[in-house]
Amino acid sequence: MTTNSVTEQLTEAGRAIEHDSFAVIDAEAGPHNYSAEQWPLVRRMIHANADFEFNGLTAFHPDAMRAGFQAVLKGNTPIVADVEMICVGLSKPRLQHFGLTTHHYISDADVIAQAKLENSTRAVQAMRKAHRLGKLDGAIVGIGNAPTALIELVRLIREEGVRPALVVAMPVGFVSAAESKDLMMTLNDVPWVAIKGRKGGSTLVVAAIHAMLSLAEAEQNKQAA
């Protein structure tokens, strides 16, 4: 039986700690309604911040896991993030294994200038720039910080026909965070993974994407066996 190597911890001690942590989560999480594909993603998010409320707060579009696998396994898929923290948090060796690239635009000078000119947010302008550059179609889009980025992405999907492969919708906060995710969860034609309510954050986006990479590697191993 083949096991993951790229998406595991690099040392035996590290792997043991992570696997023991997952076992504790499985034992303490209680009952859930997630599928065998969905639960590893939820579990890794619980592992990222020791919060069992994500067992229940995490919601999935019916096609989310399939769409995520396909986007990862086809290679050369862009990951577009609302903030740099997500790009920094993602494991470079794991991304390189699948030929994935990360992109964020929130600190670009033209994005800042346009946000000031229009009295909007940098996050809104960053999503618009990603669209202009052709980075959103077929991409995995991760939003963990800025609700306005998610609201703008929904607008782009509805009004301009943007079609990401998967949206990981997890902005955290008190102003429009819950509402932005509620908005995303009304969409049927673009797959999404979302956290209901105010909770979220870039760390959780990273955890969710890492879970998707792990499941994709397991699928690769199965196909190669």
Per-residue pLDDT reduced to its tens digit, 41-50: 999 999 999 9
Mean pLDDT for 107-113 is 98
Q: Domain containing 143 — which CATH number? A: 3.40.50.10230
**Three-state DSSP class for residue 16:** helix
Q: Taking all residues of the chain, what is their mean pLDDT, rounded to a whole number?
A: 93
Mean pLDDT for 13-36 is 87
pLDDT in tens, 52-70: 999 999 999 999 999 999 9
pLDDT at 216 over 80: yes
Does any domain span residue 149? yes
Does any domain span residue 5? no
Does any domain span residue 90? yes
Q: Which of 81, 69, 80, 76 is nearest to 97 (CA)?
A: 76
pLDDT at 2 over 60: no
Q: What percent of the chain has pLDDT over 90?
A: 83
**Contact assessment for residue 10 and residue 220, using Cβ atoms and an 8 Å cutoff:** no
pLDDT of residue 10: 63
- Burial per residue of 74-109, b for 16 or more beta-carbon CB atoms within 10 angstroms, e otherwise: eeebbbbbbbebbbebbeeebbebbebebbbbbeee
Which of 222 and 170 is assigned the larger pLDDT? 170
Does any domain span residue 1? no
Q: How far apart are CA 81 and CA 66, in angstroms?
A: 21
pLDDT of residue 222: 79
Tell me which of 20-24, 100-104, 123-127, 193-197 is least confident: 20-24
- Give the largest CA-CA distance in the chain: 58
Does any domain span residue 131? yes
Does any domain span residue 75? yes
Q: Which domain holds residue 20?
A: 12-224
pLDDT at 119 over 70: yes
Does any domain span residue 95? yes
Whole-structure pTM value = 0.93
Structural domains in the chain (count) = 1
Pick the catalytic residue from 47, 97, 104, 210.
Answer: 47
Q: How far apart are CA 92 and CA 56, in angstroms?
A: 30
Tell me which of 49-53, 184-188, 218-222 is least confident: 218-222
pLDDT at 1 over 70: no
Half-sphere exposure of 117 (CA within 13 A, CB side): 7
61 is catalytic: no
